[in-house]
Amino acid sequence: MFSELSKRLKKDKIARISLAIIILYFAVALFTQAGLLLPDFDKVNYTESYQPPSASHICGTDYLGRDVFSRILHGTRVAISVGIVSSFIAIPIGVLLGCISGFFGGKIDEFVVWLYTTLDSVPGLLLIMALSLVLGRGLYAVYLALGLTTWVSLCRLIRSEFIKHREREYVLAAKALGAGSLRQIFIHILPNVFHIVIINFSLRFVYAIQSEVILSYLGLGAQDMPSWGIMINDAKVELARGVWWQLTGATGAMFLLILAFNIFGDFLRDTLDPKLRGVE
C-alpha cells in the first residue's frame, strides 16, 4: 500500500504540494505548542491597535495591538489538535464497532446498527453543538463532541467491508488453519480494509477543522487561546471599520489547510481504493 502511494506521489505534483502544506501546518502547530515559534502572540500593545499590515506585522494587529500573524499561527494549534484528538476518539470506536458488527453479525450487529442509526438521525452540527453545550464550553468539549459523533460513517464503511470479506476464501482458509475470530479480524481482514481508515482520517480533518471554527465562532470552542473561529468572530464587527486583515488572514489560513486536505484526501482515495484502481 505505501509503496504504491509513494510511487503515485512522485508523479502527482499537486498532491505532493498539498502534503507539504499539511506537514508545514503540523510543524507550525507543534512548534507553537512547544513555545518555540512566535511566543509573543499574547503581547498586548495598546499604542499599536488596528495597525494595517506592514513590515513588522505582516498581517497587521488586532484591537489589543497583538500581532495577527502570530495569532493565526497559534490558531493552527487549535485546528490541528481538534482534528487529531477527535480522530483518536472516533477512529477506534468506528473501527472496533465496525469490525465486530460486520464480522459477527447477529444481535451484536443489530445493536451497533441501531446505535449508529440513532446517532445519525440527529442533525450533525446540532448534536455537536448540544454535546459541547452540556459538556461545558471549552476545547475539551469540542474534542469529545466531535469524537463521539463522527465515528458513524467510518463504522458503516468498515462494517459493510467486513460483511463482504468474512466469506472470502483467504478468510475461510485462515479459519480452516485454526485462526480464531480475533486473528481473522485483526490479522487477516483489517489490513485489507485499512485504506478506508486512512482515507477517512484525511477527510474527517476537513470536517473537524470546519466544525471547530464554527463552534469557536459561536463561543462554544476554544476560550482563552487564539483560534481562527474567534478571530473571524472578532473580525465580523471590525470589517465595517475597514479592518480587513484579521478576517482575511484567519480565513486564508483555514482555506489553505482545508484545500490541501481536500486535494490530498482525493489523492489518497484515488490511489488506495481498490474499486477506483480497477483491482476489484
Partner 1 sequence: MLNYIIRRILYAIPILFGIILITFLLFNVVGGNPVYQMLGKHATQEQIKEFEHEYGFDKSLFIDFQALKNAEIIKTFDSQFVFFIKQVITFDFGRSYSSKQKITTMIADGIVPSLSLAVPSFIIGVIVALIIAFICAYYRNTLIDRFTVIASVLGMSISVLAYIIGGQYILAYKMGWLPISGYESGINAIPYLILPALIWIINSLGSDVRFFRTVILDEINQNYVRTAYAKGLSPQKTLFKHVLKNAMIPIITALVIVIPYLYTGSLLLENFFGIPGLGNMTINAIANSDFPVVKFMTFTGALIYVIFNTLSDILYSVVDPRVRLK
Q: Which parts of this chain interact with partner 1 (CB under 8 A)?
A: 114-115, 117-119, 121-123, 125-127, 129-131, 133-135, 210, 213-214, 217-220, 229, 232, 235-236, 239-240, 247, 251, 254-255, 258-259, 262-263, 266
Measured CA angle at 216 (ends 210, 219), to 5 deg: 145
Closest distance of CB 47 from partner 1, Å: 28
30 vs 127 by CB, closer to partner 1: 127
Closest distance of CB 145 from partner 1, Å: 10
User: Distance between CA 269 and CA 15 in Å, rounded?
Assistant: 12
User: Distance between CA 274 and CA 272 in Å, rounded?
Assistant: 6
Closest distance of CB 21 from partner 1, Å: 12
Closest distance of CB 177 from partner 1, Å: 34
114 vs 170 by CB, closer to partner 1: 114
39 vs 123 by CB, closer to partner 1: 123
11 vs 56 by CB, closer to partner 1: 11
129 vs 174 by CB, closer to partner 1: 129
Closest distance of CB 228 from partner 1, Å: 8
